[in-house]
Structure 1
Amino acid sequence: MGFTAGETAAMRRALVLAQSPGVPLGPNPRVGCVLLDDSGTEVAEGFHRGAGTAHAEADALLRAGDAARGTTAVVTLEPCNHTGRTGPCAQALIAAGVRRVVFAQADPNPQAAGGAATLRAAGIEVDQGLLEPDARRVNRAWTFALDHGRPFVTWKFATTLDGRSAAADGTSRWVSSPAARRDTHLLRGACDVMLVGTSTVEVDDPELTVRDEFDVPLSHQPLRAVMGLRDLPAGRRVFNERAESVRLLTRDPQAALQQLFELDRRHVFLEGGPTLAASFLRAGLVDEIVTYVAPMLLGAGRAAVGDLGITTIAQARHFAVTDVTALTSHDDSDTNVRITMRGN
């Protein structure tokens, strides 16, 4: 059967719930649920607040109590069919006496999939695909990671108009404007790993924490990952107590991503230098590029990316631009242009 106007409105609400402030972006998907009675009136709503907490369906069922019987559950993701830290949502919906389930996106996780079949076997009406593209965008990196068996990779870098990330003497502080640096922290906070190479740690000694507009580290921090075989002093800031850190003792991008995937990490923010970026690009493992272009020229200095093995213009890598935004400081004195592109 088709979807009603009430179910469509409920799904839009469920998508908003899934993105409630404070809900982490990983390692679990963000999910919202709305329960409707036969007249299309909302009975209860719920959302998943992160790993180890009640799933969206269970949250909504708890709030509804006995009123859940005979309702339609509108959920952004197929109800799970496995027991992890919490019980299977498909069984909870059956036990609550829900009459119909509408979900947007099928669960790509093979361990959790199968909820729709379990619900149908119990005699519950099930329909899927309502606003699925919107639901997939809510969990873009998580969905990609489950589909591909590796984290989604965003490569971020700042550059001058002539493609330089630093001057000949190594200075780079003012390539990105204050507005661009604030924007970078927002993007960092949307990922669950920040990845650099050993050279960046040795030379720049970054802390790699997400900070707010007052330059204060936030309470929830992405994992800081350092890739490479070089020995590093324990006193480097990336190993301090401000956030969790891990060494990836490999120079192989695919191996590094596999280790991070096994750590339940789904979105990597690649912030290393030109050599590390080039290795990921050559391996075809950059899914998104975010560059901050400064309106300045250096004429010499460090290139934004290392050797890609390209010897002729016909071999140039081309990317599709998905967004262009000017980022201007409060006093309009300094501007960068943020360009977002699809990678690979």
Structure 2
Amino acid sequence: MTCSHSNPKRSRKPCSPRKAETTPSSPAPVAASNDEYWMREALSLARQGLGRTSPNPAVGAVLVRQGRCLGRGWHRRAGTAHAEIAALQNAQDRGHSVSGADLYVTLEPCSTHGRTPPCVEAILHSGVRRVIVGAIDPNPSHRGAGLRFLARKGIEVQTGILTLPCLELNEAFNHHIARRRPWVVVKAAMTLDGKIATREGDSKWITSAAARADGMRLRWASDALVAGVETVRRDDPELSLRGKGPDWKRRTWRRFILDTHARIPLEARILVPGTPGSTTIVVGETADPRRIARLEKRAQVWVLPEKEGRVDVDRFLQRAGAQQIMQILVEGGGEVQAAFLLPGLAHRVAFYYATAILGGNLSRRAVAGDGATRRSEAVALHRVQWRRLGPDWRMTALTRAGFRAHQAACQRQSN
């Protein structure tokens, strides 16, 4: 088993969701042997579930026979049909038999009863002849069980197709399964010289509407957001999700404010009843009990141990992981970003760069803290990717902790 990440040139999509819903006839066939092509189609579907399926993984599935797409589906929310079942239903709705078809699915089909019946039984009864899986279930209690069940029943099983992108799709889920801790993404919007605001605090807007919209999609993909009390005191933000449609209204959204000494203003917008989402104030054990009591009337409060005069961020992540929070997006000021990045607690960074320079010793920095004393102590980044967003640029990368987590996930695929 390898975690290869090839990137062949793609042709026109034959199974785009929009066309599949409006065109009753099957699209033009694609070479049936092109397993990577169809797995990319399944990955594209799975991405539509990011941020909506937690604590479940995002999964996509495509049914193909003789190069034609018969049905497609993705897991939309926890408790709803899994991707394989959605694809089978889609094929039926379009009048297609799936007997003798191939099923491409980004994650091993489940073999246990949960909120929904096991997918392997539906696959068995459907007449599918071959199941092609991108990634094996990372849960050691279930790993490989679905594939063994199908193989015993005479269904051909193939693994190792685009394993790396299938693992990356659910990097937060995989990490939580292995470590019971959240996957931490540090996000910041800054100028080319690393400034997030002027010396007077003016930060609206550092980046363009295109970059801000992309950042909102990153919020959507996360279970919770973390900011510091200084951000609340200075800007009084709502720190909410913005979107349209029923999925947005159903979305569970949590925000955590790191506030060691319980200094958050009681009239802050995030403490106002009716504000979308839930707010948790994370205070230190030395915080004034009277302030804590007043805060508890407006929000949930976590009292955690302190480290060097601040809330112990590592202990915070332990508690968040115990509450099934898979991915945390850190959107604080420079001190909060540093609290996660510099000790090696972050797994991925998403930095948005405006093509501008603020300069100045008093301008606010994206990453503050004490910084490294030696070049060898710098936060190393891996698998760096750049993307143009209007006039701005987005850089995403794995930290050393994130890279090692990916390596471990790949290794577990071959065990």
Q: TM-score, normalised by structure 2?
A: 0.69
Question: Can you give the 5+ residue segments of structure 1 that lack an aligned partner in the other structure?
Answer: 329-334
Q: Which amino acid is 1:58 matched to?
A: I
Q: Which amino acid is 2:201 matched to?
A: G
- Pair 1:87 & 2:117 matched: yes
- Pair 1:296 & 2:326 matched: no
How far apart, in 1, do the equivalents of 2:44 and 2:386 lie?
25
- Pair 1:35 & 2:63 matched: yes
- Deviation track 1:32-69 (CA, whole Å, cap 9, x = no partner) reads 223345x5554433322111101122223345569445
1:263 maps to which residue? 323
- More displaced 10-residue stretch of structure 1: 81-90 or 146-155: 146-155
1:75 maps to which residue? 105
- Deviation track 1:136-189 (CA, whole Å, cap 9, x = no partner) reads 343343334434432222212233444433333434334444444344223322
- Pair 1:197 & 2:228 matched: yes
1:107 is displaced (CA, Å) by 1.1
For the aligned residue pairs, the C-alpha RMSD in angstroms reads: 3.3
How far apart, in 2, do the equivalents of 1:170 and 1:36 lie?
55
- Pair 1:278 & 2:338 matched: yes
Rate the CA distance shift 1:120–1:338 in 2: closer, same or farther, 3 A: closer
1:77 is displaced (CA, Å) by 1.0
1:291 is displaced (CA, Å) by 2.5
How far apart, in 1, do the equivalents of 2:73 and 2:191 lie?
46
Rate the CA distance shift 1:57–1:304 in 2: closer, same or farther, 3 A: closer
- Deviation track 1:101-157 (CA, whole Å, cap 9, x = no partner) reads 221111113354321122223333222112223323433433344344322222122
How far apart, in 2, do the equivalents of 1:279 and 1:256 lie?
12
Alignment partner of 1:284: what SS? coil
Percent of residue pairs bearing the same amino acid type: 35
Rate the CA distance shift 1:283–1:311 in 2: closer, same or farther, 3 A: closer
Rate the CA distance shift 1:13–1:327 in 2: closer, same or farther, 3 A: closer
1:313 is displaced (CA, Å) by 3.9
Determine if contact 1:153/1:286 at 8 Å carries over to the other structure. Answer: yes
Rate the CA distance shift 1:323–1:40 in 2: closer, same or farther, 3 A: closer
Decide which of 178, 185, 190 is 1:159's aligned counterpart: 190
2:46 maps to which residue? 18
- More displaced 10-residue stretch of structure 1: 100-109 or 305-314: 305-314
1:317 maps to which residue? 379
2:268 maps to which residue? 236
How far apart, in 1, do the equivalents of 2:104 and 2:386 lie?
35
Alignment partner of 1:208: what SS? coil
1:78 is displaced (CA, Å) by 0.4
- Deviation track 1:275-306 (CA, whole Å, cap 9, x = no partner) reads 22222123211222222344223312233323
- What is the correspondence of 1:126-137 to structure 2 with a 5 Å cutoff? 126-137=157-168
Determine if contact 1:321/1:339 at 8 Å carries over to the other structure. Answer: no
Alignment partner of 2:397: what SS? strand
1:45 maps to which residue? 72
> In the comparison of the two structures, how many residue pairs are matched?
332
Determine if contact 2:351/2:394 at 8 Å carries over to the other structure. Answer: yes
How far apart, in 2, do the equivalents of 1:172 and 1:69 lie?
58
Q: TM-score, normalised by structure 1?
A: 0.81
